[in-house]
Structures are given as C-alpha cells and as structure tokens.
Amino acid sequence: MKILNYKITFIALFMLVNISCSEDILNEKTPSIVTANSLFLDIAGFEAALNGLYARVRMEREGRATNSSDRSSDRLRAEMFVSGTDNMCTNHRDGWGRVAEPWGETNNAFNAEIKGNFEWLYSIINSSNTIIARAQNDDVDWGSDIENKNRVTAEARAIRAWAYRHLTFTWGDVPLTLEESNGSTIKTDWERTPISEVREQIELDLLFAEQYIPISPVPGRISKGAVQHYLAELYLILNNPDEAIIFANKVINTSEYALITQRYGVKSGEPGVPFMDMFYEGNSNREQGNTEALWVWQWEFATIGGEGSNMRRWHTSRYNDIKIGGITPLELTVERGGRPRARMSLTKFAMDLYEIGDDRFTNHVIRKYFILKDASQNLPAVSDALPSGYNYGDKIELDWSEPITNATRNRLDWPFSRKFESGNELDITAAYQYNDQVYLRLADTYLLKAEAQFMDGDLEGAKNTLNIIRERSNATPITAADVNIDFILDERSRELVLEEHRRYTLLRTGKWLERTRMHNFNGGENIQERDKLLPIPQSVIDANLTLEFPQNLGY
C-alpha cells in the first residue's frame, strides 16, 4: 500500500533538522510536539522520518516557489536537469528556461532556480545525516527485525548519495558534510570538497546501501536495483567500465526485474504498445505489473501529504489554444492529459532521431496528432468544436518541420512526450497531476551497460545490449559498426527522453557543449564553456562569514 502521511512526517522532519534539537523542552512532557529526541525512539519514528525524507526527494518533480526552496504550483525543479540540452529546449519561457534560453548574464549567482535547488539538495543531505546519526543510538527500539537499523541507515545513505550526485554534476566541488546539523552546530567556514572526494563518499554510501536495501521495497522507496544502477553510472564517471558492467549485470540478472515486452494492465485491451504501458496511471508500480521499475515515485489526489507532480504541465503542448479558422477546437480532456503549459519541449533533433516503425515514435508515446471527438467519445461528455471543413474523427496534426528558435518559440502545435500525461476528471484545469511515476527503470541500466562495453572496446557486446532495447520497440537491429558514443546517446534519447537527467548524461560523456550547440536552436547557440557548471549561489558565499568560499570559474 502507499505511504500517504508524507506531509505530516515531512513537516516533523523539516522542523527537527532546521530549528535545532532542544534537550527535553524544560523537562516537560509535550507529546504534541515532535523533536528529534521524541521521534527517533523506535522503528516507527524512523519510518516517519524516512517518509519525510522521500517527500523532499519527490520535490524534484513538483513545483518550486519563486523565492524559496519549497513547493508551489509553479516552476519545475527537474527542468534544470533535463532541459537546455540536445533533446529538450525552452518553448514558453519561464522557470529554468529564463536561463536555458539566453544563458550569458542570466546564468548568475543570484538566480532563484539555482539557489532553490542548491538549498533543497542540502536540506535532503541534512535530513539524511540526521537519520544516519540517530540510528546509531544504542537505546533505539528496532522492533522484531534486527536488520531494521541497517535498512533504515542504508536508505538514508542511498538518498544522501543521490543528492550529492545532483550536486557534483551541477556545481562540481561542493562541501561534503556527513554530520547532523542543528542550531548548536552552525558553521561559517565551509570549504569546497574536491569532487573526487565527494564521489568517494557517494561510492561508500551506495556500497553500504546495496547490502541492506531490498529488491522490492515499500512502494515509493528506492530499491536495491536502483542503488546498483547508480553504482554502475558512478563507475562510468570514474572511468572504470569493468565495475560498471558488474553492477549493471547485477540489476539485469535479477529475476524480479525484466523489460516490459508484452501488453499488460489497465489499457492492455486498447490499441497501444508495450513500451507505453508502464507509464499509464494504474500500471507504474511493481505490484501493478511493472517489472521494469527500479524506483517509482508516489503521489495521491486529495490526500494529506499526497502533493502532486508538475511534469505534464511543464512539457505538454498547449493544444487547447491551437486555433483553426479563428476557433480553438480541442477541449481539455483527461485522455489528452489535462491542462498544459509547454515551458520546455522536445527539440526537432529529438523527434527526427526515430525511424518509422519504432514503437517509441508512435502516437501512443509521442503525441503527433489529436483526433477531433464528439461527446460520445469523451468522459466527461465534452465535444470538440469543428473547424470549417472538418468532421469528428479527423486529425489535428502537430508540426515539427522547423526547429524551435527564439523567433519561433511559444509553439502551440508542437509534439510532446506522453510519458507524463495525466488528467483529473474532478478538476481538468488543475496544475498538478497525481499519478505515480516511474523514476528509474531497467532499460536505463541496459544503456549504461552498453556504454561500459563500448568503453571497454567490446563493440559486439554493446551492439547486442543495444539491440535488446531496440528490438523491444521494433526498431531495426544495428551492427557492431554502428556503435559509437553518439549512437549510444541517440539511443538514450529515443528511450529515455524526458526521464533521464539528460544534462548529466551529456556532461558525463563530455558531449554537452557539442551536442547542445549542434541540436538546440533556442539556447544552444548561447552556451559557453563555463556553463558546464552552474554558479554557487551568492547567498551561500555571503553566509560563509569566516572563510572565503570560492566561486566557480567564469562567474
């Protein structure tokens, strides 16, 4: 079952790691007040703290308030990691797009998106450190399972590693802190730890976590396969492809994990393709049949702490604003994904990567047209308006014949990935969506393995691994002669567009500047060498009162 008390536990955890920890509040018993000393007494308290930690992690796909590190109905944190690349560009500019289109002076140490994400990630690290530290207390009641202590510690260490993964890719050398921070331990002399040392700690955390995290955890929690996947990626970063293959194979050879190759679940009786089934509401979780899932994030409508994701709103094109003959024919519907905003869009390059016949290029996966529907074809009953010369059943084609540029952005009729389509019949204009979402899946692990095999000079092995992914989607098998790093990156886009942290993938392979300049025509022309790393927020530099905190080069 889902863990639904996210908000309550999040508030408790946030208070205890940000306000400091009083000893016993003047010795008075106050059961209504949650402190570190009252929460971390038994396994139930630690589970509540973990729920709060995961609530902060999920904020990656939620909104971000304009001037804080918390939620709101606007801005998308994940945009910083997926847009401004070769396959995703700014369309209707807002949020991170205000940097990822013009770059230059807009990419500065005072930017609210940069500051908000930096603070958010360190809040996750501090929450993780609190759980890890408190788990070492000798008087904790761990219940009937003696392994609870190791499993709780492992989850917190895995999440700490996840947060430092974000930080090192985005800012490079960052302060490494492994201790609980509270009101009595405020530091004003932070130093930037070399990225190599931070990644050593990431490795230690993930190796510890791998021992104790289960293959199929409680829904919403990180799995053993996800930890092994991140280890495989880390060893690619460290130029150790042999270790990367070992950990990728651990995931691939786990019998509980398997690629989705057959239709299943809630829409299996409707037209579609196996690839798309895992993204439908009611299909995403392992207990719903999604054997490919390594980590699935949970939301819930009209539930305290259920929050909601902003992914669909930020990416889906504004189809209800398309005009034909002076009218807007397309109604907002659940099937179309509800209310769109299209702040970031696929590049023309991303669309042109697919061959005809690839399941990942069908209209089931990438919306390339809409069909005009009358009331009998919609729930709830709404009718599209018929433009002159059209009939119900006719298509409204979307157009990617020319790339999005600064002069042509604000496109309404642009294709979009349907991986995050989700509408709510009770409020079709809602900003948020509440479907559970695949965050990490096995196909990504196969692609990491193929990259490691390529790095090892095993082109035949890489070809075979890539063909497993391609054949699942009826793409033409390749030969060993086709394998190079650019083909692997192309295949990652075909398979993982809008899912992977594309900026990190391109930085990791040394291809971000080259490929973004080559394929992104609304921002790629403006990027510079310095933009590989983002500036340290000025607020962080100013708060380090007793020691100079150096800025990244070029800022």
Q: How many CB atoms lie within 10 A of CB 332?
A: 15
The b/e string for 55-79 (b: 16+ C-beta within 10 A; e otherwise) is: bbbbbbbbbbeeeebbbeebbbbbb
pLDDT at 9: 38
Q: Are 275 and 260 in contact (CB under 8 A)?
A: yes
Interacting residues of 407 by C-beta distance below 8 A, sequence separation 6+: none
pLDDT at 6: 39
Average pLDDT of the residues of the chain: 92
pLDDT at 244: 98
pLDDT at 417: 98
pLDDT at 5 over 90: no
Cα distances (angstroms) measured from residue 232 to each of 206, 228, 290, 375: 10, 6, 22, 50
Token couple for 430: 């809602």
Q: Are 433 and 311 in contact (CB under 8 A)?
A: yes
Q: Write the DSSP string, 68-83.
A: SSS--SS-BTTHHHHS
pLDDT at 34: 59
Amino acid at 307: E
Question: Which sequence spans correspond to the domains of the chain?
Answer: 7-213+535-543
pLDDT at 81: 97
Rounded Cα distance, 475 and 355, in Å: 7
Q: Decide: helix, strand or coil at residue 371.
A: strand
pLDDT in tens, 79-133: 999 999 999 999 999 999 999 999 999 999 999 999 999 999 999 999 999 999 9
Token couple for 393: 């059943």
pLDDT in tens, 383-392: 999 999 999 9
Q: How many CB atoms lie within 10 A of CB 327?
A: 12
pLDDT in tens, 194-230: 999 999 999 999 999 999 999 999 999 999 999 999 9
Share of the chain above pLDDT 70, in %: 92
pLDDT in tens, 325-334: 999 999 999 8
- Dihedral angle sign, alpha carbons of residues 59, 60, 65, 69: positive
Q: Write the DSSP string, 479-530.
A: -GGG-SHHHHHHHHHHHHTTTS-HHHHHHHTT-HHHHHHHH-SSSGGG--GG
Question: DSSP state, 266?
Answer: G
pLDDT at 10 over 50: no
Rounded Cα distance, 89 and 518, in Å: 12
pLDDT at 71 over 80: no
Least confident of 70-79, 111-120, 278-287: 70-79
Mean pLDDT of the region 240-246 = 98
pLDDT at 319 over 70: yes
Q: Decide: helix, strand or coil at residue 267.
A: helix
Mean pLDDT of the region 498-527 = 98
pLDDT in tens, 451-506: 999 999 999 999 999 999 999 999 999 999 999 999 999 999 999 999 999 999 99
Amino acid at 172: G
Mean pLDDT of the region 187-198 = 95
pLDDT at 26: 30
pLDDT at 29: 39
Q: What is the pTM of this model?
A: 0.93
pLDDT in tens, 12-68: 344 334 433 333 323 333 444 556 778 999 999 999 999 999 999 999 999 876 555
The H or E element that residue 294 is part of is strand 293-297
pLDDT at 285 over 70: yes
CATH of 7-213+535-543, one of 2.60.40.10, 3.10.129.10, 1.20.1050.10, 1.25.40.390: 1.25.40.390
pLDDT at 375: 86
